[in-house]
Chain A
């Protein structure tokens, strides 16, 4: 047992109409990596904001080194050695690496910046995190992963003893994540404590010592990583037994819905496969293997060079989004914000945009019929929104994703739904709801193509998994043969 560095007791914070935190406790040892886990709205971010001085608790006490600490501003937090790395990085792209590290605290000699000691000090910091770049490089030339490491360096230069990392891996590749974990372990060795916030349980098990779970603003429990498992954590987070196994048999599968022959675009080569009604087919593969590109090609968003797509036995003469939609194909894109959402439109308008033709009398929209159908979907998919008239930008990621799925459920005659990364950036509770929705959909005879980088998601849900490598199909695995190892084997060759 290490020495307790930071302790929060009975922290309560009220916002008008909602208790964000209700007598929450949290404890951080010296040199410990402590995960903070919970669904959206569980109170993680409120607690973090209190620790780094954005909010002040209504009641309760924070202790640092067993002494009561008052954190009233971001500066107070920094003075106590608490530093935060936000999801959106805080790097000035046009300044050098060294200038970024010592931003606002540049060493000076008679009013001029002392370049020599700036570079020397920056070098020392970079060595501590093992980041090998020239301190005089402009930050904009660094990858996102390196920028994140730069942020960690910045925290170290501020003599941070506690570093809070908010979803640090959300935009990193697997190799970059490994590097980050190496740094985290190195920081640990240097007796620096880390509060690690993430939805990804695998990562938490890999790098964290203890896990504290919050739910609905309440402290649920703290577990040693070695003495718990995923199921238990999920249960703590969602407050009920979570069924992560959606294995089904394809006895309900009907006739062939989709036939793809030698489909070729700039990114994929001669891809052929078939999908039956009611079947869920998964696509796996490393980044850039061509999963998303198959989705885009099948919905006519990327130009098809050659090959044919047949739906229900009829070959499509043109593969364009409009044709695909008319023939009963739906598409949920990978990047919700960039390609899926109309952020300034309402939840209702976002849902009905593809099916609005079904709610018209002549050229006029029958708003009542539109509302009624949309409201049904809101109830069915449990979309949490104050009303259909709420702007969709204000909803959580999970609810936004459900609304986009609802967009295609509203469409009559949907035969095939292509869904790229169904649960990216979505908290665990909503994730399971989406799995349920998708299985339900298959049960009702819709064919599903699911592209995902989470292998577990595919093995839990899909009847078959197609593994992609370098734009080609490298294997087709049945549900029984598909697991982490077999999929990885075919992904990397």
Chain B
């Protein structure tokens, strides 16, 4: 009896509990509405569709935790993709082209970080500008016409499988686990939370806040480029209008996962659940022939609802722990 109680207490302390419950509820509803939904094939499909969002959302989570945001990820994905396909067509090799794309990601990430940290401008504004300009470059480079890829084997990155598991899912899983580890078990992770929670205190504690921010901007950009590579491989062409509005889907998923816009608060597990909720929702609504306009409506409503529930729960738990301290509960 006691063990059950303790087990229950442990479960109730999981930060993302409400979100996980919400995900399960949505899955149950979708399963009831469509027989096809809860089949292995379809669930794999959901995962594959969510993988690109998850990759970018993982980078975005780190960036929001450090107290910044990047709106340029969709444009960057498109710009790096068109150049990548062009380089690939010229060299007839995949790897150098992919490296060029990632290099562009590093460059744009460094640029964002430089302007934000050097001139002390809000990243929302800086990356809004970069978003517009970089999208412009993508159109200029291609004359607004998609570049068809001519190298065989590239599409594997987007459509291939290892056993039953799609390759994009594997890429996403590897990057996610890597960042999860980074955030939870390394000093870099600790510095991310500290810098995002209170920049002044971080400086006064001897943390190189600008360095932490720069690394995080670069990671976020590179992850966006990787998402762009996968999306490009799926259609086998470099499209200048790739990933339009991608940044908002990604930020919505991260915020849905409980990460605070003001920095310092949030977890990658929350982001994972947030991405899956949106993925399951989209998939389920399509299966039920809901019009895409209504999908937008439902998606927006779910985001607002989930955040309300989550906020209320956090406040309640804050209250409990504050009372615990007031009662003079002392360690040991």
Give A residues with C-beta under 8 Å from B: 15-18, 41, 299, 301, 321-322, 324-326, 331, 333, 338-345, 349, 353-354, 356-357, 360, 363-365, 367, 375, 378-379, 384-388, 390-391, 394-396, 407
Q: Is B132 an interface residue (CB 8 A)?
A: no
Whether B325 lies near A394 (C-beta < 8 A) is yes
Closest B residue to A365 by beta carbon equals: B185
Whether A340 lies near B265 (C-beta < 8 A) is no
Q: In whole angstroms, what is the CA distance A346 to B194 when docked?
A: 11
Given contacts A341-B198, A364-B186, A385-B325, contact A321 B204 (CB under 8 A): yes
Whether B187 lies near A360 (C-beta < 8 A) is yes
Which 6 A-B pairs rank lowest in CB-CB distance, beginning with the nearest? A325-B206, A386-B329, A342-B197, A339-B200, A394-B325, A18-B327
Whether B321 lies near A340 (C-beta < 8 A) is no
28 contacts between A and B (CB under 8 A): A18-B328, A41-B328, A322-B206, A326-B206, A333-B201, A338-B200, A338-B201, A339-B201, A340-B204, A341-B198, A341-B201, A345-B264, A353-B190, A356-B190, A357-B187, A364-B186, A365-B185, A365-B186, A365-B187, A367-B185, A379-B332, A384-B328, A385-B325, A386-B324, A386-B329, A394-B321, A394-B322, A394-B325
The DSSP consensus for interface residues of chain B is helix
Whether B265 lies near A344 (C-beta < 8 A) is yes
B162, chain A: closest CB distance, angstroms: 28
Q: In whole angstroms, what is the CA distance A321 to B204 when docked?
A: 7
Most-contacted residue by chain B among A343, A353, A388 (CB, 10 A)? A353
Chain A neighbourhood of B264, CB < 8 A:
342, 344-345
Interface size class of B (residues with CB under 8 A): 20 to 34
A64, chain B: closest CB distance, angstroms: 29
Whether A301 lies near B198 (C-beta < 8 A) is no
Chain A neighbourhood of B186, CB < 8 A:
360, 363-365
Binary CB contact string for chain B from 52 to 96 against chain A (1 if under 8 A, 0 otherwise):
000000000000000000000000000000000000000000000
Whether B187 lies near A339 (C-beta < 8 A) is no
Q: Is B326 an interface residue (CB 8 A)?
A: yes
Closest A residue to B317 by beta carbon equals: A391
Whether B204 lies near A386 (C-beta < 8 A) is no
Given contacts A15-B327, A353-B190, contact A299 B204 (CB under 8 A): yes
Whether A353 lies near B188 (C-beta < 8 A) is no
Count A-B contacts at CB 8 Å.
111
Binary CB contact string for chain B from 303 to 332 against chain A (1 if under 8 A, 0 otherwise):
000000000000000100111111111111
Chain A neighbourhood of B326, CB < 8 A:
15, 18, 41
Whether B205 lies near A301 (C-beta < 8 A) is no
Which residue of B203, B208, B331 contacts A388 across the interface (Cβ within 8 Å)? Answer: B331
Whether A395 lies near B327 (C-beta < 8 A) is no
A43, chain B: closest CB distance, angstroms: 11
Q: In whole angstroms, what is the CA distance A338 to B193 when docked?
A: 16
Chain B neighbourhood of A41, CB < 8 A:
326, 328
Q: In whole angstroms, what is the CA distance A342 to B332 when docked?
A: 23
Q: In whole angstroms, what is the CA distance A326 to B321 when docked?
A: 35
Chain B neighbourhood of A345, CB < 8 A:
193-194, 197, 264
Chain B neighbourhood of A15, CB < 8 A:
323, 326-327
Q: In whole angstroms, what is the CA distance A324 to B187 when docked?
A: 19
Q: In whole angstroms, what is the CA distance A467 to B27 when docked?
A: 69
Binary CB contact string for chain B from 200 to 229 against chain A (1 if under 8 A, 0 otherwise):
111111111000000000000000000000
Q: In whole angstroms, what is the CA distance A394 to B185 when docked?
A: 25
Whether B331 lies near A378 (C-beta < 8 A) is yes
Most-contacted residue by chain B among A339, A343, A378, A384 (CB, 10 A)? A339
Whether B203 lies near A301 (C-beta < 8 A) is yes
Given contacts A378-B331, A384-B328, contact A344 B185 (CB under 8 A): no
Q: In whole angstroms, what is the CA distance A396 to B329 when docked?
A: 12
B40, chain A: closest CB distance, angstroms: 36
Q: In whole angstroms, what is the CA distance A386 to B321 when docked?
A: 9
Q: In whole angstroms, what is the CA distance A349 to B191 when docked?
A: 10
